[in-house]
Amino acid sequence: MPSSATNWLIVNSNEQGAHIGDILKAELEPYDAARVCFQGSPILLPPRLAVTLALVFHELATNAAKYGALSVPKGQLLISWKISGDTVNIDWIESGGPPVEAPSRQGFGGKLFQRALNPYHGRVQRKFERNGLKCNITLILPADDALSPLLRDYGSEALTGERHHGNGTKAREGNGGLGNHPGSRARL
């Protein structure tokens, strides 16, 4: 169940939320780690958004396993994310899977994406290409009470994991729990 793993991440963060990389890692854990690649800096998501994205990622992963890149031995999945201001951009790129076609009608996944991401001004663009699904998700981080204390107490480091030292240097705390340098590729 997607929300149970994310709920565990939130509880272990003292209810502060969960890093996007940790959510993805939890949702894709059942699949072949050698075929899944992550790329992005740590972004701490507030609890409600973390659970919402866990549901979206779970739906994408399930479809990839049934019909897409994760349904065949040679299929690959690259997931990248970045933040600019309060806008989060996520790319889900499948390759090496069977040819995919756009659905003739909006199914459960399309309805889920629309309803779940609407409170975050979310936009989902799916391209059903011959080599695999390409999905881009753009959303706005909420400025509600769940996030405000983090920003008030820690500023932008609450979102990115960066800590500024008194000598003008900065350090990062992990990469969404993936243990690699920001911007580099990590395998699950």
At 167-182, the pLDDT tens digits run: 343 333 333 333 333 3
> From CA 19, how far away is CA 161, in angstroms rounded?
9
- Please state, as a whole number, how many other Cβ atoms lie within 10 Å of the Cβ of residue 184: 11
Q: What is the pLDDT of residues 107-161, one digit of tens each?
A: 777 788 888 899 999 999 999 998 899 999 999 998 753 443 333 344 444 444 4
pLDDT score recorded for residue 149: 39
179 vs 72, more confident: 72
What SS3 string covers the chain?
Answer: CHHHHHHHHHHHCCCCCEEHHHHHHHHHCCCCHHHEEEEECCCEECHHHHHHHHHHHHHHHHHHHHCCHHHCCCCEEEEEEEEECCEEEEEEEEECCCCCCCCCCCCHHHHHHHHHHHHHCCEEEEEEECCEEEEEEEEECCCCCCCHHHHHHHCCHHHHCEEECCCCCEEECCCCCCCCCCCCEEEC
pLDDT over 80 at 164, yes or no: no
Question: Lowest-confidence range among 28-37, 92-101, 107-116, 127-136?
Answer: 107-116
Residue ranges and CATH numbers for the domains of the chain are 2-161 (3.30.565.10)
d(CA 160, CA 66): 33
- Mean pLDDT over all residues of the chain? 75
> Higher confidence at residue 4 or residue 56?
56
Mean pLDDT within 82-99? 95
* Distant-in-sequence, close-in-space partners of 60: CB < 8 Å, separation ≥ 6: 92, 109, 135
